[in-house]
Amino acid sequence: MSKFRKDGKKAMPAISTASLPDIVFMLLFFFMVTTTMRQTTLKVNVVLPKATEVEKLEKKSLVSYIYIGDPIKSLQASFGTAARIQLNDAFAVKEDLFQFVEMEKDKRDEAERNMITWSLKVDQDTKMGIVTEVKQEMRKVNALKINYSAKRTDKISE
């Protein structure tokens, strides 16, 4: 009847997938731009505490990380469960901090050496004892700009 009805038996043309690479490349570039490479393999469990007054860390290249927490499951057999410090890819003791700080400073330009932020990524259940030791050590080597890594939250709980 209708003028507009089409013949039912036309075969569907195949959808062109020529633009699929473009779409995927777009995704790829998005991820390449927004992310940073994982630099170190974590040997300690770090669950960051939550806080409301956090600030964003600017200039990733001027940030050095110090991790503190319990060793991960697979390493607990050999290293125990007590909280440890991790610098770069290895466990460390607080005496190693001096060398670590010097090495991190050496990596940067001379002008930027005093602008390094030391980001402490500490597990929330760690006791303050080891954190304080690290802090005292950082004071001794004049690495004073500290950032206590924490996740943003709206409200802190009891």
Partner 1 sequence: MAKREIQEINAGSMADIAFLLLIFFLVTTTMDTDTGLIRKLPPPPEDVSDPEKIDIKQRNIFEVLVNANDQLLADGEYIPVTELKEKVKEFIKGDPNNPEMPEYKVEEVPLFGSIPVSKQIVSLQNDNGTSYQMYIKVQNELIGAYREVRNERAMKEFGKSFDELLVLAEKSEEFSNQAEAIKAIYPQRISEAEPKSIGGKK
Q: Is 149 in the site for partner 1 (CB under 8 A)?
A: yes
Structure tokens at 55: 């600030």
128 binds partner 1 (CB under 8 A): yes
Q: Which is nearer to partner 1, 3 or 135 (CB)?
A: 135
Among 20, 90, 93, 115, binds partner 1 (CB under 8 A): 20
Q: Within its chain, how far is the Cα of 32 from the centroid?
A: 16
Does residue 93 interact with partner 1 by CB under 8 A? no
| Residue 122 burial (C-beta neighbours within 10 Å; 0-12, 13-18, 19+) | buried
Binding-site member from 54, 62, 75, 92 for partner 1 (CB under 8 A): 54
Task: Confirm or reject binding of residue 25 to partner 1 (CB under 8 A).
Answer: yes
From the list 61, 48, 71, 47, the residue with the least C-alpha distance to 148 is 48
* Residue 26 token pair: 């777009």
Amino acid sitting at position 18:
A
Instruction: Work out how close the CB of 40 gets to partner 1 at its nearest, in angstroms, rounded to a whole number.
Output: 11
Residue 81 lies near partner 1 (rule: CB under 8 A) = no
- Interface residue with partner 1, options 61, 114, 127, 154 (CB under 8 A): 127
- Determine the Cα–Cα distance for residues 96 and 101; give it in Å rounded to an integer: 9
Using the contact rule CB under 8 A, the part of the chain among 72-80, 84-92, 94-102, 132-140 near partner 1 is: 132-140
Closest CA to 137 of 85, 91, 60: 85
How many whole angstroms separate alpha carbon 63 and alpha carbon 83?
23
- Interface residues with partner 1 (CB under 8 A) are 17-18, 20-21, 24-25, 27-28, 31-32, 34-38, 49-57, 60, 63, 117, 119-120, 122-132, 135, 138-140, 142-152, 156-158
